[in-house]
Chains A and B, each alone.
Chain A
Amino acid sequence: MTQTTQAVLRLLLEDPAARRYGLEIGAVTGLPSGTIHPILARLESLGWVESDWEDVDPSAAARPRRRYYRISEEGMAAARLALARAHQTRTKLVSRPWAVGDTS
């Protein structure tokens, strides 16, 4: 799992009930705007993230509706596990850098 995906997942796990839109996720994580949507699309396809449209009248708000993203119930457990594994792997590689590719 890439560092950018981990950053997005960590943010969504901070407050699982919070609904966040793409630009906001990019701003909080510090990731470039171009990297956020492909990550969200992949996470959504895995069922880890749910998205829905903002409940607002675009003409009244004078802007298009936002698409809000939130981590799903299924995604919470899977993301925590994946992040823990990624952290474990990183720790292992930092402590034993020669062990890259060692599957034992």
Chain B
Amino acid sequence: MKTVEIHRTGYLAGGVVAIAVRVLPAAHRDRYSDEFRADLSVLMIGRQLPYAFGALVSAVPLRRAIKETDSDEAGRSVVYWKCRWGRHRWVVVNDDNPEQRKGIHKECTRCLKLKDINEHDPTPATWLGAG
């Protein structure tokens, strides 16, 4: 496609694209703002507004696609509600470095939270503080 002629971006189309970009995560706004405005600049005035509304409509799916990517990069894409409620799925794990822990500890298979095993002193720390 040969689209080398540069056109002035219409105010309305520019405004709609600006709104579309605001829907996206902050870290990605500059990139997509530049992309959308670069596309607008090669479109005739009459075709800019349909393009801008297309960008606005696609902002939510685009945001979802970006969020999926970001959460995958963060390594945690799932919210473990049972763990948030304190209902972990503990398994006993042997430590490779026994100096840091007591040889074994518990690890939640869902959220990967660690917990020390203290078999001889099951008393809660808050109860001890009362005395």
Contact = CB atoms under 8 A, between A and B. Distances in A.
Interface core residue of B38, B51, B58 (most chain A CB under 10 Å): B38
B1 interface: yes
Given A23-B39, A23-B42, A33-B50, A42 B34 contact: no
Nearest to A37: B62
B69 A41 contact: yes
Given A22-B39, A37-B62, A64 B54 contact: no
A96 interface: no
Nearest to B65: A41
B41 A63 contact: yes
A21 B4 CA distance: 13
Of B1, B35, B41, chain A has the most CB atoms within 10 Å of the CB of: B35
B65 A28 contact: no
- Majority SS of interface residues in chain A? helix
Q: Kindly name the residue among B32, B54, B56 whose own CB sees the greatest number of chain A CB atoms within 10 A.
A: B54
A15 B64 CA distance: 29
A42 B38 contact: no
B92 interface: no
Nearest to A33: B54
A34 B55 contact: yes
Interface string A23-44: 1100110001111111001101
B1 A64 contact: no
B61 interface: yes
B65 A33 contact: no
B68 A33 contact: no
Q: Can you list the 5 inter-chain pairs with the closest CB atoms, starting with the nearest?
A: A34-B58, A34-B54, A33-B54, A45-B69, A63-B41
Interface of A: 21-24, 27-28, 32-38, 41-42, 44-45, 54, 61-67
28 contacts: A21-B35, A21-B39, A22-B35, A22-B39, A23-B42, A24-B1, A27-B1, A33-B51, A33-B58, A34-B55, A34-B57, A35-B58, A36-B58, A37-B32, A37-B55, A37-B58, A38-B64, A41-B69, A42-B65, A42-B68, A45-B72, A63-B37, A63-B41, A64-B35, A65-B34, A66-B38, A67-B31, A67-B35
